[in-house]
Each structure stands twice: as structure tokens, then as C-alpha cells.
Amino acid sequence: MGAGHAHRLYVPGASPVHRLAPQCKLVALLAFVTAVVATPRERMWAFAAYAVLLAAVAAVARIGPGLIARRALIELPFVTFALLLPFVAHGERVSVLGVAVSQDGLWGAWNILAKGTLGVVGSILLAATTEPRALLLGAERLRVPAQLVQIAAFMLRYLDVVAGELARMRVALAARGFEARDVRATRVLARSLGALFLRTYERGERVHLAMLARGYDGRMPATGAVAATPGQWGTAAVLPAAAALVAAAAWMGG
């Protein structure tokens, strides 16, 4: 039962970004994304500036570009949707490489790609420098309702259990020559999910009883100091403040 102590997404480290209090990082990321989304899509230089800001954070946190690129692959389905836009949208046509595409659609695609990618990279940096457990403590400090934090805590705790069971089932299915080819495969997948739910629940119930036996009363005991100093808030504010400046500049002029 080595799971739960560290997470696959977390990259251990001791950089200033890692040491920052989780609640500061959460607020900083939200503010940064707000600034990015509020930027008019025609100001391409502003998005370049945001990318440079994120690259600086990644450099300070010692998170390599390869890791970020690999994790950013999750964005691919949205990218395909964005790439389709120039072809299906109406409006004025422009010629790109000899193909007439909608100008409006082109801007729409750029809008989704640029803002989406910046948000995704921001989240990747947060997840790589913050343990999920610390993130929950941070959310608690930010007065996120206790019920939500509790659901999220149980969820993260059992995610590895569910993933482990699911992986074993997938191996078992593959070993029996199963391959999800079309809609008919849904029947098999549905059965597996039913079994998965029951297995996970009964395992979770045992864990819950064990937790109760050890004095669990609805919240995890905090082991380290979680209060953030004004200095930490100041450090965390550098990224959103710079982003806000860029956004303001983008709104003012060209």
C-alpha cells in the first residue's frame, strides 16, 4: 500500500515554487487564467508574453519542457475541434497555403488553441509542484466548503484504488482477446464497470472502517504549518501581476 504518499503527477523538488503555500499557488493560477482569458484574441504578442511568463515559472520550478509537452498531449481532442473551425465556419474567406478558409473560424481556432494551451500548461505546473494532499489543505484554507473538500479527498485517495482495479480488469480483458471495436463492445465495458464499482466500494468501505478505528472525524489531521506568510503571497502574486500588466497593455493599445 505504497500509494497515496506521492502522486504520479507530482515531481518532487525543493524549488521556490514547490515551497510556496498551496493556497497561494491556487489563487495565482486562477488569477493568471482570468487574465489570459480576458485578453483580446487579436493581440498575439500578449499570448507570447504569457508563454514567456509560464516558461519562467517552469524554469524556477525546474520542470523540464519535455515533461510539460508530454502532459499537454491531453489537450489533443480540443485541438482537433479547433483545427476544424476554419473549415466549417462562415464569414469572410481568406486563403492560407492556397486553401480558402473562414477568417472568423481561423481566429476562433487561434483563440481556443492559445488560451487553452496556456491554461493547460498552468495546471500542469501546479500539479507538478504541489502534492494533491497539500492542494486539498490549500483549498480548505481558502474556505472551500468542507463537503467538497471531503469528497475530493476521498476521490483522490481512491483514485489509485480504482485505477489499479481497472488496470487489472483491462489486462484480464486483453488476455481473453477483447478489443473495443464498436458500439457492441459497450456491453462488456458496462459489465466491467458494474463489477469495478462494487469491488472498489467494498474495498473503500474497509479502508473507511480502518480510518474510523484510528480516530478519523471527517477531516485529515494537518501535519505541517499551512498558514501562508505575506512574503509567500507576495511571491505568488508575481505571476498574476505580470499577467495583469500584459492584459492591461493588450486592452489599451495594439
Told to check if 88 binds other proteins by CB under 8 A, we report yes
Residue 193, all three cell numbers = 464497470
Residue type, 124: I
Of 1-20, which residues contact other proteins (CB under 8 A)? 9
Please tell me what DSSP assigns to residue 177.
T
Task: Name which of 46, 66, 60, 59 is nearest 118 in CA terms.
Answer: 46
Provide the 10 A C-beta neighbour count for residue 206. 10
Residue 153, all three cell numbers = 479527498
SS3 38: helix
The residue written with cell numbers 508563454 in the block is 51
Told to check if 244 binds other proteins by CB under 8 A, we report no
Of 108-127, which residues contact other proteins (CB under 8 A)? 108-109, 111, 115-116, 119-124, 126-127
Of 194-213, which residues contact other proteins (CB under 8 A)? 194-198, 200-201, 204-205, 208
Site string (25-64) toward other proteins, x via CB under 8 A: -x--xx--xx-xxx--x-----------------------
The minimum distance between CB 141 and other proteins, in angstroms, equals 15
Told to check if 178 binds other proteins by CB under 8 A, we report no
Q: How far is CA 114 from CA 23, 46, 237, in A?
A: 26, 10, 23
Of 125-164, which residues contact other proteins (CB under 8 A)? 126-127, 132, 135, 145, 147-148, 150-159, 161-163
Told to check if 85 binds other proteins by CB under 8 A, we report yes
The minimum distance between CB 51 and other proteins, in angstroms, equals 15
| Closer residue to other proteins, CB minimum distance, 139 or 228 | 139
∠159-164-165 over CA atoms, to 5°? 100
Told to check if 191 binds other proteins by CB under 8 A, we report yes
Binding window for other proteins (CB under 8 A); candidates: 81-89, 93-101, 222-230, 237-245 = 81-89
Task: Name which of 219, 53, 229 is nearest 137 in CA terms.
Answer: 219
Q: Which helix (H) or strand (E) holds 150?
A: helix 146-175
| Closer residue to other proteins, CB minimum distance, 15 or 123 | 123
Task: Name which of 20, 22, 13 is nearest 142 in CA terms.
Answer: 22
- Residue in 90, 143, 176, 214 binding other proteins, rule: CB under 8 A: 90
